[in-house]
Amino acid sequence: MQISTAVQEKESNWLTVLVTVAGIIVGMVLVGVVFTRMGLLNGLRGGGTTAVSPTALAITTENMQFGQETLQVKAGQPFSFLLDNKDFYGHSFDVDELDWHVQMPANDKLMIDFTAVPPGTYTIYCAIPGHREAGMVATLIVEK
């Protein structure tokens, strides 16, 4: 039994439409995963503004740079960092010697509290590949 050309064309068109729709859905899912991993959707949440306390230091990130090259705090006293990422991609706030590793979502703010840091000079950097090499480094000075 032979299938007519019209039936073959209908089956071919149906299969083409199915594959196209499946490809679009897979593509949309992949774009969503990439945006989520990069933190690009965080700015859409409307996270609001966090008030800065008198013992908080505001640290901005913009254009692959920390806004401040040097930060100073007193040893043993509680303090907070208001991390304000103005970029549309994620960063991190890392100090290896103190075992601080904080993810900074894209276009978002977060408050991080610390205390009892020993006196010394520490390197702050962004651990996202290529960011430290691009100059995303600062110095934390903890005074007695």
Q: What is the band of 138 on the pLDDT scale with cuts at 50, 70, 90? A: very high
CA angle 95, 97, 100 (to 5 degrees): 40
pLDDT at residue number 10:
62
Judgement on whether residues 49 and 115 belong to the same structural domain of the protein = yes
Structural domains in the chain (count): 2
* Alpha helices (H) in the chain, listed in sequence order: 5-38
Which residues span the domain enclosing 82?
Answer: 44-143
Judgement on whether residues 124 and 105 belong to the same structural domain of the protein = yes
Residue pair 141/121 in contact (Cβ under 8 Å)? The answer is: yes
Give me the CATH number covering residue 132: 2.60.40.420
Q: 59-108: per-residue pLDDT in tens? A: 899 988 999 899 888 888 888 889 999 999 999 999 999 999 999 999 99
pLDDT at residue number 37:
60
Overall pTM > 0.85: no
